[in-house]
Structures are given as C-alpha cells and as structure tokens.
A = this chain, B = another copy of it.
C-alpha cells in the first residue's frame, strides 16, 4: 500500500514528520506533511512539504539547493507521525544552521543559547531573484 494511505492525518490533513540525520540521528527539523507531500516524498526519495504560504507542494531545499535525500521512513505506533532519516545537503535550517534546533534553553539564565556554528549566510543563499 502506498505510504500516504497507511497514515492517520490530523483534522487539517497533516502528519508531523521528524526529519533527522541518517548518520548521527541528530534531529534537523519538524515538518507537517499532507498526503500529497508524503506520497511525493516516498516516490521521489526527497523530502517534500506543502508550503501553506505558497499554496503548493515543494521540494524541501527547492530554493536553496539544500535538499534532504530519504534513507529510511519510520511510522510511529499510532500511525499518525513519521520519522524520516535523511542525507542532508549543506544545512536544514533557513537561518544558516545545520539543524533548526541550534538554540539550547539555559535554565540558569532563562535564555536560549546558540550552540551551533552558522554554516551559510541566508542573505546570500536566499537572494531575491526578481
């Protein structure tokens, strides 16, 4: 059965997907996927997301070239979320970090400390093209 047909979607038609590094298992980003995004991800072997702001299905990394090649897809016990192991090209986060989870909560100070190096400059990568 196609993967998209095996899942239970929320009342808006999405399942959350943990995208993580296939080598280190580091969590990279959490995506919400509709059935089309799940189907396209499974078919093409590259993570796709439905961008509500653009109203269409997009290859993750379409603009930046920072794509995520699927290695394995796991379904949780309840069939309502995914964990997708990927080979990440360059970086997952549009802010220039390898993972979107680059800030650690510091309970002593109550602040979010940046604990990763910036890999690229978003201003360079996301240049306006028009």
Contact = CB atoms under 8 A, between A and B. Distances in A.
Interface residues of A, number: 39
A2 B73 CA distance: 35
A77 B73 CA distance: 24
- Indicate the member of A30, A102, A103 with the most B CB atoms within 10 Å: A30
Copies of this chain, tallied across the complex: 2
A76 interface: yes
Interface of A: 1-3, 6, 16, 18, 20-21, 24-27, 29-30, 42, 72-78, 81, 83, 93-95, 97, 100-105, 107, 110-112, 115
B25 A20 contact: yes
A130 to B, nearest CB: 25
A115 B75 CA distance: 11
B102 A77 contact: yes
